[in-house]
Amino acid sequence: MNSTSNALRFTLKLAVCLVLVAWILHVISADEARLQVKDWDSLSFGEQVLKSWTIGSAGLWKTISGVSVCWLLVSLIFMGATIFIGVVRWRLVLAVQGLRLSLGRAAGISLVAHFFNSFLLGSTGGDLLKAYYAAAETNHKKAEAVTTVIVDRLLGLFAMLLFVSLMALANWGIVMSQQRFMAVMLVVLGMLFISGLVVVLAFWAGPTKPRLKFEMLLSRLPKGDGLVRCIEACHTYGENPGFLPRVLGWSMLLSLACVLQIVALGFGLGLPMGEHFRVLLLIVPAIICISALPITPSGIGVRENLYVWLLSATAIGIEAQDALTLSILAFAGSLLWSLIGGAVYLAFRSRHSLDQIATD
């Protein structure tokens, strides 16, 4: 009976993976087909699918084959580095809650989450599955384990927004002279204010009477005790003075790796990335932050339009076609790591492996 159940579970996982992989391949082929087919939006869904798997697939291969193999591999390494840095950061967040997860297990969960990010809304949808697996890893601290995923994503977004803001100061003349950069920075600063406010309230909101009353009301709701434990878990981070600098440091390094991935692809396409490196430090993380908003699956469309809009600005002057190609290749690199995450998902088994560690 147990073997039959395992076989059915594996079959279901395989079916899910095949469907999602087909969807992922369709999306990236459709991006390429959209470049070559006039009046793309006027086509029916069936016609778009046909064009994607014929014209789009051939065009995608031609685009990839036109990139220097060495630079393509370098870009994939930097993409993998962003995932690895994210794993290191999450383990720091877990440790504050007295939870320990091996590097391999944390990497496995993160790769599975990255796989599901490829089709869920925004670029953070896979965190829902990450939170589910994190809760499944422990019997005694499920609420705290889920909180680590939320805090990790919140601090990652806040740090990248802060990185963009610092790079805006370094590119102040360009930002003030280009309306499109000013518009993007208004969005970024708005997101920075909101995320910063959430961090402050979550980490350092003291034990005031309104908060205690609010927690008392929450505790009366179904699963309310878990919500209260999540709030208390957030306060633990504010009580650890060395935590925030370490996490922000790793997050800044992650932002740099994201930029270097794009720079490597640009060199592979023969684009003048070196002379625009400073402004790319502003553009790339800003696009990633805005694409993280739950507007479209995996930020598709939002990301491509932003790359074309910003890279074709007079301050940089990259052709719109090249900017779109760059965006598609970057997304393709991310999807390749998603496919690796899909393979991990097939072999993935939930188990209680988060252990409570002694704290002073």
Q: What is the pLDDT of residues 8-33, one digit of tens each?
A: 765 775 676 566 666 666 666 676 67
Asked if the structure places residue 256 within a domain, the reply is yes
- The pLDDT assigned to 141 comes to 84
- The pLDDT assigned to 10 comes to 57
* Residue ranges of the chain whose pLDDT lies below 70: 1-7, 9-10, 13-14, 16-29, 31-32, 34-36, 56-64, 118-125, 206-224, 226, 294-301, 314-315, 348-360
7 token code pair:
């076989």
Residues across the chain: 360
Asked if the structure places residue 12 within a domain, the reply is no
- The pLDDT assigned to 132 comes to 81
Pick from 287, 280, 279, 199: nearest CA to 244? 199
Residue for token pair 């900017």: 323
Q: Which residue range forms the structural domain that includes residue 101?
A: 66-356
Asked if the structure places residue 14 within a domain, the reply is no
- The pLDDT assigned to 352 comes to 52
Asked if the structure places residue 308 within a domain, the reply is yes
What's the 3-state SS for 248-273?
HHHHHHHHHHHHHHHHHHHHHCCCCC
- The pLDDT assigned to 99 comes to 85
63 token code pair:
């685009």
Q: How far apart are CA 172 and CA 170, in angstroms?
A: 6
Asked if the structure places residue 8 within a domain, the reply is no
Does the pTM of the predicted model rise above 0.85? no
- The pLDDT assigned to 143 comes to 85
Buried b (16+ CB within 10 A) or exposed e, 167-196: bbeebeebbeebeebeebbeebeebbeebe
Asked if the structure places residue 31 within a domain, the reply is no
Asked if the structure places residue 3 within a domain, the reply is no
- The pLDDT assigned to 359 comes to 40
Asked if the structure places residue 41 within a domain, the reply is no
- The pLDDT assigned to 253 comes to 96
Alpha helix segments (H runs only) across the chain: 2-36, 45-51, 57-65, 69-96, 103-117, 127-136, 142-170, 172-177, 179-204, 209-219, 224-238, 243-268, 277-291, 302-311, 320-347
Give me the number of domains the chain comprises: 1
Q: How far apart are CA 87 and CA 329, in angstroms?
A: 24
- The pLDDT assigned to 245 comes to 93
